[in-house]
Amino acid sequence: MACTTILVGKKASYDGSTMIARNDDGRFDTKKLVVVKNQGKHYESKIGHLKIELPDNPLPYTSTPNVTTEKAGIWAANGINSENVAMTATETITSNALVLGADPYVVYKKAEKKGEKDIPGGLGEEDLVVVTLPYIHSAREGVLRLGKLLEQYGTYEPNGIAFSDKDEIWWLETIGGHNWMARRVKDEEYVIMPNQLGIDYFDFEDAYGEQKEFICSKGLKELMERFHMNLNQGEKFNPRLAFGSHSDSDHVYNTPRAWFMARYFNPRTYKWEGDNPDFGPESDDIPWSLVPEHKITVEEVKYILSSYYQGTPYNPYLVKDNPVKGKYRSIGINRTDVMAILQIRPYLPFEIQAVEWICFGSNAFNTCIPLYSQVEKMPSYVSQSKETVDSNNFYWASRLIGALADPHFSSAVQLIERYQGASAAKGHQLLNKFDEKMRQSKDFSGKEAANEEIAQAIKEETEKALRNVLMNAMAHMKNGYNRADN
């Protein structure tokens, strides 16, 4: 799935929290935010037709599944479990012919003749959160469990997956059908991932030794050496060269997003534009991780995942045409179904450390609702999405705002900015209020009531924004006519 991910280490964030976030750029799938309790032991995927027996005693966890699961499956996308471990899956990445020739994807094959049996496929984005998140107690444990599943069952697609807890963030990338590698995000750094295999350095000595910063499948190094995948000149190993892609399409679809994100957080670290820049929109060697020039807030994560090359000639909303307008694929694209910023805040009591900032639809026009994750259920405003369009639901209200604002961008953008600013401030105000109340009282039984109040406040701001963009769109309808126009 065409997505964009950002990972923020605890020393790179404004408050010492870990943050992992991803745009789930789907096919306009209707999404909801729910709490999954008492998950069953028998799991069968829809795409891979793979049957798995799951462990006993799964942890409760939040999930943002598709509303309709009969055909394509659950697609949980992201969540936080009751141990305050977060997971987002997945960022579709890239591979190459050398890798797939050596370790092909595990693809479902339907029986062609009577008496033959179907051959199940491997795991995919549809499955990964469901079979991993309820059974892990740390980010590192998430890597180890998923890695074991990948080696056992394989995968039918290339994916990147993030795990976080209050101390660490890990990023895992699949390599071919059964192999994988994972790297810990340094506390002082952030990571940018735009639909490509991204890790730009890997230490096999650590991965096969102490595993402090790197972990991988048991046979990865042997596979690379046997099939001559190491394309590096010199001792430093760059996985992008060995396992990633080098296509022309990357330069319009993927790398420009990495360029814009790094340019935003590190404007003075490198030269990004003009003559002889260090990195341009089509550079293949933009760093996977960087130390930001200032600490990163929730709002900046939201902003960067909403971006469409503002302040550059590539902005698709520029009024004047130019040869490169809209040339590159935006980060905040129309097809985004859900985006969640999964924040684990170590300075608060365990019961209220984890917050899920949830938003639906195109990020350029939507806003987030911050919700405590350790609850029995989520507010109906985010959990009761249906396939029927209903503006009383956060998913559809967000979709309507985007669809109405986009065709009238120049007149609607200030309405959107006011909406996003007001709702973000309201979210922080209420979150701060409930954090302090529960911290002081040591009574955490009111988290669901707190979530309801937060959701209601953002609902009011959303309804106001929907009315404003609707009035603006009506004023610009093509069939408008005034006798004074004559």
**% of the chain residues with pLDDT over 90:** 95
| pLDDT for residue 79 is more than 90 | yes
Contacts of 339 (CB under 8 A, 6+ apart): 21, 22, 23, 24, 302, 305, 358, 359, 360, 363, 368
Q: How far apart are CA 442 and CA 450, in angstroms?
A: 15
| pLDDT for residue 400 is more than 90 | yes
Helix (H/G/I), strand (E/B), else coil: 362: coil
Task: Report the chain's mean pLDDT, rounded to a whole number.
Answer: 96
| pLDDT for residue 381 is more than 70 | yes
Q: How far apart are CA 67 and CA 47, in angstroms?
A: 17
The pLDDT-based confidence of 1 (bands split at 50, 70, 90) is low
What Cα–Cα distance (Å) separates residue 135 from each residue in 27, 130, 368?
29, 9, 28
Helix (H/G/I), strand (E/B), else coil: 190: strand
Looking at the annotation, which residues are catalytic? Answer: 3
| pLDDT for residue 463 is more than 90 | yes
The pLDDT-based confidence of 485 (bands split at 50, 70, 90) is low
pLDDT at 482: 78
**% of the chain residues with pLDDT over 70:** 99
pLDDT at 235: 83
**CATH code of the domain made up of 4-364:** 3.60.60.10
Express each pLDDT in 199-225 by its tens digit.
999 999 999 999 999 999 999 999 999
The pLDDT-based confidence of 481 (bands split at 50, 70, 90) is confident
Give the mean model confidence (pLDDT) for residues 132-157: 98
What Cα–Cα distance (Å) separates residue 29 from each residue in 20, 156, 390, 457?
22, 21, 15, 25
Express each pLDDT in 32-69 by its tens digit.
999 999 899 999 999 999 999 999 999 999 999 999 99
The pLDDT-based confidence of 486 (bands split at 50, 70, 90) is low
Lowest mean pLDDT among 15-19, 109-113, 239-243, 335-339: 109-113
Q: How far apart are CA 56 and CA 464, in angstroms?
A: 46
The structure's pTM equals 0.97
Give the mean model confidence (pLDDT) for residues 255-266: 98
Please answer whether residues 80 and 21 qualify as being in contact, where contact means their C-beta atoms are separated by less than 8 angstroms.
Answer: no
| One-letter amino acid of 283 | S
How big is the chain by its Cα radius of gyration, in Å?
23
Q: How far apart are CA 347 and CA 84, in angstroms?
A: 13
Express each pLDDT in 301-321 by its tens digit.
999 999 999 999 999 999 998
Please answer whether residues 331 and 260 qualify as being in contact, where contact means their C-beta atoms are separated by less than 8 angstroms.
Answer: yes
The pLDDT-based confidence of 2 (bands split at 50, 70, 90) is confident
| pLDDT for residue 364 is more than 60 | yes
* In the chain, where the domains are located: 4-364, 387-486
pLDDT at 234: 84
Q: What is the largest CA-CA distance in the chain?
A: 81
pLDDT at 243: 98
The count of C-alpha atoms lying within 13 angstroms of the C-alpha of 393, restricted to the half-sphere facing its C-beta, is 20
pLDDT at 443: 98
pLDDT at 93: 97
Q: How far apart are CA 398 and CA 358, in angstroms?
A: 11
The pLDDT-based confidence of 71 (bands split at 50, 70, 90) is confident
pLDDT at 70: 85
Q: How far apart are CA 109 and CA 121, in angstroms?
A: 7
Peptide bond into 90 cis (omega under 30): yes
φ, ψ of residue 338 to 5 degrees: the values are: -155, 145
Contacts of 321 (CB under 8 A, 6+ apart): none
End-to-end CA distance of the chain: 51
